[in-house]
Structure 1
């Protein structure tokens, strides 16, 4: 799970107390929330995000899984976009034109799409020849598409 939240530094000095003075949710979590995501998808996500040693440590078809940081890549590559979205929304929130929960929900949808896009586009490191033979595809991170479809967001206090 990755968290994007309302903080003073994110929205800038004009709205320095935004994160402290607003009531309501302050963050959106993006990924595979416990209780909402299937444990198989959580395991696949963890194995691919951080890699495994294989064998008894789990992962993939029993062999080592290389690190494929699709969540970290998505969050890092889009950090500026999220910051800009929060800045743009700050004035609307303060003037009552929108609510914090609405803004964070839109941000969650945006980040969810970015993580799913990263799963789709990531090609390196490639699957091993054994994995390609078993899976019938050379596309890393995607077998049935179930893990990609399980990416979601949750607005929290």
Structure 2
């Protein structure tokens, strides 16, 4: 049995493939953390400065490293990749834009960081810190740092 096939619309197919390629290869990235202008604590200390000291520890060693960004993102790397794979198919089909995909992934990633703070970041607070703030949970005093964690999609 012999089968004959014809393909019509070669230019339209090429254009559609180019659109899909452009959607998937757009030069965008998502940033997760504390952007400039995140605000200040009641005492005037910028949240980004407090966040940097907590994330990396103080230079003098008095404040230990409590990674609320790098560690939770590494721990959830597989979940982030799964989300990316699922959403990139929607981008290829034109159901969402690359910006929308990165926005959704960024929101999930910021949520992982916020959840990590709520669950408690090691090391534990010193007894003097617990007495001063009335809580044993590291990085939670007013909740301002946790609430300021967000994401930004950049071109």
Could you state the TM-score of these two structures normalised by the residue count of structure 2?
0.76
2: CA distance between counterparts of 1:125 and 1:95? 45
CA RMSD in angstroms comes to: 2.4
Could you tell me whether the CA contact under 8 Å between 2:66 and 2:121 is conserved in 1? no
Shift of 1:21: 3.5
2: CA distance between counterparts of 1:108 and 1:25? 16
Any unmatched runs of 5+ in structure 1?
1-19, 55-62
Shift of 1:64: 1.0
- What number of residue pairs does the alignment pair up? 132
2:141 match: 143
1: CA distance between counterparts of 2:127 and 2:104? 40
1:44 corresponds, among 25, 45, 50, to 50
Could you tell me whether the CA contact under 8 Å between 2:54 and 2:66 is conserved in 1? yes
Shift of 1:38: 2.1
| Secondary structure at the counterpart of residue 123 of structure 2 | coil
1:132 match: 130
Instruction: String of CA shifts for 1:7-65, please: whole Å, max 9, x gaps.
Output: xxxxxxxxxxxxx743655211110112x3125211111111111145xxxxxxxx811
2: CA distance between counterparts of 1:25 and 1:111? 19
